[in-house]
A and B are shown apart, each in its own frame.
Chain A
Amino acid sequence: MQLRKVTAASAAVLALALTATACGSDKKDSGSGDGKKITIGIKIDQPGIGLKTPDGKFAGFDVDVATYVAKELGYKAEDIVFKETKSADRETAIERGDVKFIAASYSINDERLQKVDFAGPYLLAHQDILVRADDDSIKSPEDLNNKKLCSVTGSTSAKNVKDKLAPKAQLQTYGGYSECLTGLENKVIDALTTDDSILAGYASQANFQGKFKLAGFKMTNENYGIGLKKGDADLKKKVNDALTKMVSDGSWEKAVKANFGPANYKNEPAPKIGNIVK
């Protein structure tokens, strides 16, 4: 029976495929469960903020803050489960309880405050642009007219510039900042725009040191907060206490220097808890 042979062959192939894929999906802890592990939402593709490093660990300022806070909440470093939360998914992840809290370049704004609560802020960032170190032609945001400006799909940063500051700027959007940087490095793109903390993170990378600089335009105020479930006042207070302690014992300053230092990024002083700069 030829049919049976074919069926058997395809069954074997399917079984192989199943086992090949099954071993990848080891169960992760769902976070708010047994109280031993804690799941924290971060970014995994932003150097300096939150980045998955080649050894499979995570590094960046947000990661340092999250680790410090988790430690203050009584979790050991090995009990922390970091999980990627994309920008569009952050509110949902918190509402559903997929994560205990989120530290992922998460700016506090009114729209988000309707869905989640924020502890902090723990960093005041500004929208800025990154240019090549030898490019002195952009001295004010208005100089971006007729320049090629890059940002990522779905981000409002580039639109901000075009609508308010430089209506003749040409926009290029890509799926990730790395593509923009390739263009910037190759002198096809003139500037990359997003929060200065993210830009500083990129510019501090070993491969880029000395190649790019921040222009220092403070085009917006971004108050990074720690997002948590609406109404969880207890957690909010604990996280705020942890953040206050982080600043007072010098860990905050150390984390900023370690993650953004090499880019000559002049960080704002540590913000006061609850003090949101509009």
Chain B
Amino acid sequence: MFDFLKGYDLLGAFWVTVQLTVYSALGSLIWGTLLAGMKVSPVPLMRGFATAYVNVVRNIPLTVIIVFSSLGLYQTLGVMLGADVIDDINFRLAVLALAAYTAAFVCEALRSGINTVPVGQAEAARALGLSFTQVLRLIILPQAFRAVVNPLSNVLIALTKNTTVASAIGVVEASYLMKDMIEAEAQLILISAVFAFGFIVLTLPTGLILGWVSKKVAVKR
């Protein structure tokens, strides 16, 4: 019944999806946290930059951003991100674009998390003489992160699904393979079911595990 899978590297394609997800998740977490920090910082220009960044990136389709990363960064500006084979370059560019896009959503989630921290926490920290970065790093962000595990897990699930857009610049991940298979093989319904199942396997546990984590780490108030 599953003969049609022969000759296709199904696991390999999903492995690329997983790698895209993991690397871009890490990248977006770092960049998103920095953006959130900028957004609440005392320097007006940085606040403005973070706000503008989030508004611009959120309102442009991911497809455009990913195509830009390949066409603009690589084909025009010659950015190769330390790789020299096209497949690697495209993979890294896709990670960069996904991270840049997802960071906007991480930033928004974190900012709402910062809002859940009681004002007294920041006031007490300042009374102890902590500087802005110390307040943020030691007091506010640790509490904010614990409050936003759930929203962040939604962002992560969205990211997992968004990796399919990388096929637009020729990264051979799950959706790229699926399109190839639909064109070449007759078992349309079975192929669809296999790929749908693959994504459910990837996203459902993420949601469940992080949902459990979010209950575990929630700050009792």
Indicate if B183 sits at the interface (CB-CB under 8 A): yes
Find out whether the CB atom of B170 lies under 8 angstroms from the CB atom of A153: yes
Find out whether the CB atom of B170 lies under 8 angstroms from the CB atom of A172: yes
Which residue from chain B places its CB closest to the CB of A188 in the assembled complex? B75
Find out whether the CB atom of A171 lies under 8 angstroms from the CB atom of B183: no
Least Cβ–Cβ distance between A207 and chain B, in angstroms: 16
Find out whether the CB atom of B170 lies under 8 angstroms from the CB atom of A148: no
The complex places the Cα of A179 from the Cα of B86 at a distance, in Å, of 15
CB-contacts of B32-85 with A (<8 A): 67, 70-71, 74-76, 78, 85
Least Cβ–Cβ distance between A66 and chain B, in angstroms: 27
The complex places the Cα of A116 from the Cα of B78 at a distance, in Å, of 46
Which residue from chain A places its CB closest to the CB of B75 in the assembled complex? A183
Indicate if B169 sits at the interface (CB-CB under 8 A): yes
**For residue A172, which residues in chain B have a CB less than 8 angstroms away from its CB?**
86, 90, 170
Find out whether the CB atom of A171 lies under 8 angstroms from the CB atom of B170: yes
Task: Give A30-55 as 1s and 0s: 1 = Cβ < 8 Å from B's Cβ atoms.
Answer: 00000000000000000000000000
| Size of interface on A: residues with Cβ below 8 Å to B | 16
Indicate if A186 sits at the interface (CB-CB under 8 A): yes
CB-contacts of B141-186 with A (<8 A): 167-170, 179, 183
Indicate if A217 sits at the interface (CB-CB under 8 A): no
The complex places the Cα of A179 from the Cα of B168 at a distance, in Å, of 11
Task: Give A179-205 as 1s and 0s: 1 = Cβ < 8 Å from B's Cβ atoms.
Answer: 100110010110000000000000000
The complex places the Cα of A173 from the Cα of B75 at a distance, in Å, of 13
Looking at the complex, which one of A153, A154, A175, A182 makes contact with B76 (CB distance below 8 Å)?
A: A182
Find out whether the CB atom of A179 lies under 8 angstroms from the CB atom of B179: no
**For residue B179, which residues in chain A have a CB less than 8 angstroms away from its CB?**
153-154
Indicate if B87 sits at the interface (CB-CB under 8 A): yes
Task: Give B109-138 as 1s and 0s: 1 = Cβ < 8 Å from A's Cβ atoms.
Answer: 000000000000000000000000000000
Find out whether the CB atom of B85 lies under 8 angstroms from the CB atom of A170: yes
Of B75, B85, B90, the most chain A CB neighbours within 10 A belong to B75
**For residue A174, which residues in chain B have a CB less than 8 angstroms away from its CB?**
67, 70, 168-170
Chain B interface bracket (under 10, 10 to 19, 20 to 34, 35 or more): 10 to 19
Which residue from chain A places its CB closest to the CB of B167 in the assembled complex? A153
Find out whether the CB atom of A182 lies under 8 angstroms from the CB atom of B170: no
The complex places the Cα of A175 from the Cα of B67 at a distance, in Å, of 10
Indicate if A20 sits at the interface (CB-CB under 8 A): no
**For residue A154, which residues in chain B have a CB less than 8 angstroms away from its CB?**
179, 183
The complex places the Cα of A265 from the Cα of B69 at a distance, in Å, of 34
Which residue from chain B places its CB closest to the CB of A185 in the assembled complex? B75
**For residue A148, which residues in chain B have a CB less than 8 angstroms away from its CB?**
86
Least Cβ–Cβ distance between B21 and chain A, in angstroms: 22
Least Cβ–Cβ distance between A29 and chain B, in angstroms: 31
Indicate if A88 sits at the interface (CB-CB under 8 A): yes
Find out whether the CB atom of B75 lies under 8 angstroms from the CB atom of A182: yes
Looking at the complex, which one of B67, B74, B87 makes contact with A188 (CB distance below 8 Å)?
A: B74
**For residue A175, which residues in chain B have a CB less than 8 angstroms away from its CB?**
67, 168
Looking at the complex, which one of A153, A170, A171, A189 makes contact with B75 (CB distance below 8 Å)?
A: A189
Of B85, B168, B170, the most chain A CB neighbours within 10 A belong to B170
**For residue B75, which residues in chain A have a CB less than 8 angstroms away from its CB?**
179, 182-183, 186, 188-189
**For residue A183, which residues in chain B have a CB less than 8 angstroms away from its CB?**
71, 75
The complex places the Cα of A179 from the Cα of B64 at a distance, in Å, of 13
**For residue A189, which residues in chain B have a CB less than 8 angstroms away from its CB?**
75
The complex places the Cα of A188 from the Cα of B87 at a distance, in Å, of 14
**For residue B90, which residues in chain A have a CB less than 8 angstroms away from its CB?**
172
CB-contacts of A137-166 with B (<8 A): 148, 153-154
Least Cβ–Cβ distance between A88 and chain B, in angstroms: 7
**For residue B67, which residues in chain A have a CB less than 8 angstroms away from its CB?**
174-175, 179
Find out whether the CB atom of A173 lies under 8 angstroms from the CB atom of B183: no
Least Cβ–Cβ distance between A95 and chain B, in angstroms: 17
Beyond A170-B87, A171-B170, A188-B75, list 12 extra A-B contacts (CB 8 Å): A88-B183, A153-B179, A154-B183, A170-B85, A170-B86, A174-B168, A175-B67, A179-B67, A179-B70, A182-B71, A182-B76, A188-B78
6 residue pairs A–B, Cβ–Cβ below 8 Å:
A88-B183, A153-B170, A171-B170, A173-B169, A174-B170, A186-B76
- Show the binding face of B for A, using Cβ within 8 Å: 67, 70-71, 74-76, 78, 85-87, 90, 167-170, 179, 183
- Show the binding face of A for B, using Cβ within 8 Å: 88, 148, 153-154, 170-175, 179, 182-183, 186, 188-189
6 A-B pairs with the lowest CB-CB distances in the bound complex, closest first? A173-B170, A183-B75, A170-B86, A188-B75, A172-B86, A186-B75
